């Protein structure tokens, strides 16, 4: 299987604007931001998508959400509000098959999503 663009970012083969890293998670700015702040959180271990994470690896969900909370505080989005999104599969709008959590904020976000 060829590497996804996110695995290439993890392996530092592709440059990204990295804003956070810990033992489990890497976070970087989305290349096509949909809000003034748009950051992606990816697990260092490869999982194609939310639905593909086996129970023994469910700990990655807490690592992703905890990292997003830290960055929301660093960027002060916790003071104004933000949205966390995971797009899963074709109907979910997934375009990169490596699990990722979007952090969006810095403007009012409409609901329902398109
Ligand atoms: P999704 O549609 O949920 O699969 O989200 C994939 C996201 O990855 C999109 O918002 C893209 O803009 C973003 N993206 C794709 N390539 C890159 C890249 N090289 N660096 C940063 N973000 C990227």
Q: Is the CB of 89 under 6 A from ligand 1?
A: no
The answer to whether 39 and 16 have CB atoms below 8 angstroms apart is no
Q: Average pLDDT for residues 33-47, to the nearest whole number?
A: 98
pLDDT of residue 1: 82
Q: Could you tell which of 28, 85, 95, 99 is best to mutate to test the pocket of ligand 1, judged by most ligand atoms within 8 Å of the CB?
A: 95
Q: In CATH, what number does 5-105 get?
A: 3.30.428.10
Q: Residue 106: left if φ>0, alpha if ψ -120 to 50, beta else—which one?
A: left
pLDDT band for position 114 (cuts 50, 70, 90): confident
**Average per-residue pLDDT in the chain?**
98
Of 101, 104, 106, 105, give the one whose Cα is nearest residue 27. Answer: 101
Q: Is the CB of 94 under 6 A from ligand 1?
A: yes
Q: Residue 93: left if φ>0, alpha if ψ -120 to 50, beta else—which one?
A: left
Atom number, ligand 1, closest to the C-alpha of residue 16: 20
H helices of the chain, in order, are 5-10, 59-74, 77-80, 89-92
pLDDT at 68 over 90: yes
Q: Is 111 helix (H, G, I), strand (E, B) or coil?
A: coil
| pLDDT tens digits, one per residue of 3-20 | 999 999 999 999 999 999
Q: Could you tell which of 96, 97, 101, 114 is best to mutate to test the pocket of ligand 1, judged by most ligand atoms within 8 Å of the CB?
A: 96
Strands (E), the chain: 18-21, 25-29, 37-43, 82-85, 101-105
| pLDDT tens digits, one per residue of 20-39 | 999 999 999 999 999 999 99
Q: Is the CB of 48 under 6 A from ligand 1?
A: no
Please give the model's pTM, rounded to 2 decimal places. Answer: 0.98
């Amino acid at each position: 299987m060829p590497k996804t663009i996110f695995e290439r970012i993890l392996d530092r083969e592709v440059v990204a604007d990295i804003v956070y890293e810990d033992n489990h998670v890497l976070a970087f700015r989305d290349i096509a931001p949909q809000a003034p702040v748009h950051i992606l959180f990816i697990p260092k271990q490869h999982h194609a998508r939310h639905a593909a994470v086996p129970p023994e690896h469910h700990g990655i969900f807490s690592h992703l959400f905890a990292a997003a909370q830290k960055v929301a505080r660093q960027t002060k989005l916790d003071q104004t509000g933000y949205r966390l999104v995971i797009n899963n599969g074709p109907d979910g709008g997934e375009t990169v098959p490596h699990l990722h959590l979007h952090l969006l904020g810095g403007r009012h976000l409409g609901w329902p999503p398109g």
